[in-house]
Structure 1
Amino acid sequence: MSNKTLNLFLKDSLNSLKKDGLYNEIQILNGSNESVINIDGKKFINLSSNNYLGFTTHKTIMEKSIEAIEKYGVGAGAVRTINGTLLIHDELEKEIANFKGTEDAIAFQSGFNCNIGVISSVMMKGDCIFSDELNHASIIDGCRLSGAKIVRYKHNDMKDLEEKILEAKNSLDFNKGMIITDGVFSMDGDVVNLPLLVKVAEKYDLITYVDDSHGTGVMGNGAGTCKHFSLQDKIDFQMGTLSKAIGVVGGYVAGSKLLIDYLKVKARPFLFSTSLTPASAAAALEAIRILNFSIEPVQRLWENGNYFKRGLKNLGFNIGKSETPITPCIIGDENKTQAFSKKLFENGVYAKAIVFPTVSKGTGRIRNMPTAQHSKDILDEALSIYEKIGKELEVI
C-alpha cells in the first residue's frame, strides 16, 4: 500500500504547481523529432526542438549508426575503465578534439552528467567558482556537488564579475578559482562576452570553463563559441553536448591532454556508468565530420532563425536580446504563458511554455527554435498563427 504522507505531499505539490502555471504536460511524439511532428495522429509545426541542424534524421548519420550496431552490438557492455571503451569511442574523442581545436577530449553519456562529473572532480572544498546567474541547471548542480564556494555574478556582466572576484579575494581564503559560463544561453539566446571574460580570467589567474551545449553546431561555423571568438586556446574546459545540434546523445569536454587524462581517472560518471552506445558514438562522429566538411546546414539554421526572429519582432512580440537562432517570445505571467502555448497547440504549432524554475518568475516565455529543416512556408504559417493568438490574448 502507498505511503499516505508521500501521496498527500505529491498531490499538494502538483496542485500548487498547476495553480501557479508551473505544471508542464508532456506530449508523446508518434515519430521522429523534425520540423513537423505527429502527436495523436495530428501534425504540428515543431518549434520546440533542439535538433538545430536536423541531424536526428540525417540519412548518412543514421546509416553510420546502423553500421556500428552491426559491428559492435547495441551496447558497450561495461564502464569505460573496465572494458567498455570501444574503438568507436576513441575515434569520436579524437574527432571532437580536432573539431574544437584542443589536444584531447573525453565523451560522457549526457551533457548533464558531464557537467556534474567534471566540475566536481576538479573543484572542491577550499576552491571558489564564479558562476553566471543564468547558467544551466547542470552547471549549478555540478558546482553544488563540488563543495567549492559558489559566487554568482550578474548575467554576462564582466564588471560585476571582476568586482565579485576582488571581493572574494579579500574575504575568502580559496585555493583554485574558476569562472564558469554558458557559451550560448539557452533560454535567452544571447552569447557570453568571452573576450572580456578571458581577460578577467587571465588577470586573476582563474580557470575557464565554457558550456557550449547550445553553441556547438551554431556558433563559429558550427565549431562553437570559443572558435567564434578565436579563443579556443584560452579556454581550459570546452564542454558541450552531442544531443542538440549534433542530433544524438552524450556530452564531452575538450581540453589539454593533461586535463583529459585526469578526468578519465577522476570523473565519476565516466568511472561508474556504462559508456555511450556504439550507435550513438558512431552517429555523433559522423555528424561532427559533416560539420567539418560543410557549413551549409549551419548557414540554413541562421537564415531561418533570423527570418523567424524578424517576423515575430515585426508583429510586436518581445523577443528579448537573442543573438542566435534561439528565439524567445517573452509573455511574462506564467498562467498567460501557459495559455499562449496551449492556444498555439490548438492551432497546430508545438511551442512549449518555459516558466519557473527554468527561467525567473515573471519572465515566462515561449522558446522558439527554428531549425535548418524548416521551410519559409512553414515559418510563415507559424507566424500567422502567432499573430492571431497574440491579438486574442492581447499580447500584441
Structure 2
Amino acid sequence: MTDFYGEMQKELDILKASSLFRQTITVETPPEPWIAVGSQTMLNLAGNNYLGLANHPVLKEAAVHALQKYGTGTAGSRLVVGTSALHEEVEEALARFQGRESALLFSSGYCANLGVIQALVGRNDYVFSDKLNHASIVDGIILSRAKLKRYRHKDLDHLEKLLKNTTAPGRKLIITDSIFSMDGDRAPIKELVELKQRYGAMLMLDEAHGEGVFGPKGRGLAAHEMAAEHIDIHLGTLSKAFGCLGAYVAGSKTLVDYLRNKCRSFIYTTSLPPAVLGSILGALKVIAGTAGDRLRRDLRNKSKWMINELNKLGFSTLDSDSQIIPILIPGNDNVINFSKKLRQRGILALPIRVPTVPKNSERIRVSLMATHSMQDLTYAVEQFANIKREERV
C-alpha cells in the first residue's frame, strides 16, 4: 500500500533541506505600519495595504452598518439567493468609478483571473501572456486549455512576432499585470493597446497593484496612461490598496452579462458577505476623494525617495517605479539570512525565492504604505545599509 503521508514528508524534508520550506507568520494587530508578530513589534514592509485603509475608521463604520443591516453572510451563490441589494449597489459604484457600463464582483483576484480567462477562451483560442504575470493568470490559462504564447517581459517586439505568426482562427487574448507584483515595474499599456488593435485581439489588464495607487481618483495605471477606454477587460483587486477583500471585472454590459452566465468561479461560489461589501463602499469614498489624492501623493513621494536611497547604497531595485520595491539579494541562503537580520532589527520584509522568482534573482520584497512615516523609512534604509556592510552583499 502506498505510503502517501510518507511521500509527502519526504518532499517536505527536501524543501527544508533546500531552505524552501514555507510557514505562515501570525500577526496579532491590524496591518498598520507597525505590527505585532508574537512578542515583537515590527516595522511592516511586507503587506499590500498601500493606502493604509485596512484599519480606516470610514471602512470599519461602513462594514459594521452593512453587517447590522444584512447579517454575517449570504448563504448562497450569486445566481441562487446570494445577490443582495448591496451587491448591486457595490457593482454599480465600481462601474461608475471606472467609467464603464457594468461591473461584476468576485471573491478574490485569484478567482477572478481563473474564472474570467476560462470563460473567454478555450481549446481553439490563443492567450498572449507576459512572462512575469501573476500565478493566478498562469493558472487561469492552464485551466482554459487555450494555447499559451508567453512573451518576454514587456518585450513588445516579441509579442508582435507571436501575434503576427498566429494566423489560425480563434480568439486572441493579451493579458498583463499593470504593476508587476515582484518587480514593481509598469506594463507598456499604450503600446499593448496599439498591438491589440492592430491584430484584432482582446486586452485584459490586471490592475491588482495599480488600482487605488495610480491614475485620477485611483482608477489605475490604464487611467493614468489615458488608455482605460481601450481596455476590454479591466480586473481590479479590492484586497490591496482598497484594504478590503474581493475583486471585480469592469467593462461593457455584454462582457459582464457573458461572464455572469459563463464564469464558473462566479457561478459556483458563495457571494461576498455584507461587511466586506460595506467596507468596499467605504473604501471608494476615501480613494475617490481628496483624502485619496493626498494618500496617493504621499505614497508616490515615499516610494521614489526609498528607491533612490537604496540605489545610492548599491542595491539593485530593478526597474521598480511603484510602491513595490524589489531588493536583489541573489542566492537562497543569502536572501533568507538578510531577511532574518532585518527581523532581528524589528523589520518585517520577506525573502522571495524560487518558484515565485527565477533562481539567482532572489530578493527582499519591500512594499510601502502611504501611512509609513519618513522616520520609519529612514530607519529601514539605515538597517539595509548596516546589514549590507556586515554581510558584504
User: Which TM-score tier does this pair reach, normalised by the shorter chain?
Assistant: over 0.9
Question: 1:164-313 maps to which residues of 2 (within 5 A)?
Answer: 164-169=162-167, 173-221=168-216, 222-294=218-290, 295-313=293-311
Mean CA deviation greater in 160-169 or 234-243: 160-169
Q: CA deviation at 1:21?
A: 2.8
Residues 225-263 of structure 1, C-alpha deviation per residue, up to 9 Å, x if partnerless?
Answer: 110111111111000210000001101100001100111
Between the aligned partners of 2:98 and 2:180, the Cα distance in structure 1 is 19
CA RMSD of the aligned region, Å? Answer: 1.2
- Report if aligned partners of 1:128, 1:174 keep a CA contact under 8 Å in 2: no
- The two structures have a TM-score, normalised by structure 1, of 0.96
**1:368 corresponding residue in structure 2:** 366
Instruction: State the SS of the aligned residue for 2:173.
Output: strand
- Report if aligned partners of 1:194, 1:229 keep a CA contact under 8 Å in 2: yes
Tell me which amino acid in the other structure corresponds to 1:255: G
Match 1:116 to one of 114, 117, 131? 114
Instruction: State the SS of the aligned residue for 2:239.
Output: coil
Between the aligned partners of 1:10 and 1:94, the Cα distance in structure 2 is 47
- Residue 341 of structure 2 corresponds to residue 346 of structure 1: no
**1:54 corresponding residue in structure 2:** 52
Tell me which amino acid in the other structure corresponds to 1:238: H
Residues 319-366 of structure 1, C-alpha deviation per residue, up to 9 Å, x if partnerless?
Answer: 111011111101111111111111111111000101111111111000
Q: CA deviation at 1:4?
A: 6.6
Question: 1:29-178 maps to which residues of 2 (within 5 A)?
Answer: 29-169=27-167, 173-178=168-173
- Report if aligned partners of 1:81, 1:271 keep a CA contact under 8 Å in 2: yes
Between the aligned partners of 2:14 and 2:338, the Cα distance in structure 1 is 20
Residues 360-384 of structure 1, C-alpha deviation per residue, up to 9 Å, x if partnerless?
Answer: 1111000001111100111111111
Between the aligned partners of 2:310 and 2:64, the Cα distance in structure 1 is 40
Instruction: State the SS of the aligned residue for 1:358.
Output: coil
Between the aligned partners of 1:253 and 1:160, the Cα distance in structure 2 is 28
Residues 57-103 of structure 1, C-alpha deviation per residue, up to 9 Å, x if partnerless?
Answer: 11111000001000000111211111111111111111111111211
- The two structures have a TM-score, normalised by structure 2, of 0.97
- Report if aligned partners of 2:304, 2:321 keep a CA contact under 8 Å in 1: no
- Report if aligned partners of 1:30, 1:41 keep a CA contact under 8 Å in 2: no
Between the aligned partners of 1:307 and 1:337, the Cα distance in structure 2 is 23
- Report if aligned partners of 1:44, 1:349 keep a CA contact under 8 Å in 2: yes
Between the aligned partners of 1:120 and 1:46, the Cα distance in structure 2 is 36
Report percent identity of matched pairs: 37
Unaligned runs of 5+ in 2: none
Between the aligned partners of 2:315 and 2:17, the Cα distance in structure 1 is 26
Instruction: State the SS of the aligned residue for 2:81.
Output: helix
**1:22 corresponding residue in structure 2:** 20
Unaligned runs of 5+ in 1: none
Between the aligned partners of 2:222 and 2:369, the Cα distance in structure 1 is 22
Tell me which amino acid in the other structure corresponds to 1:143: I
- Report if aligned partners of 1:66, 1:279 keep a CA contact under 8 Å in 2: yes
Between the aligned partners of 1:287 and 1:226, the Cα distance in structure 2 is 20
Instruction: State the SS of the aligned residue for 1:56.
Output: coil
Match 1:321 to one of 307, 319, 328? 319
Q: CA deviation at 1:292?
A: 1.5
- Report if aligned partners of 1:51, 1:244 keep a CA contact under 8 Å in 2: yes
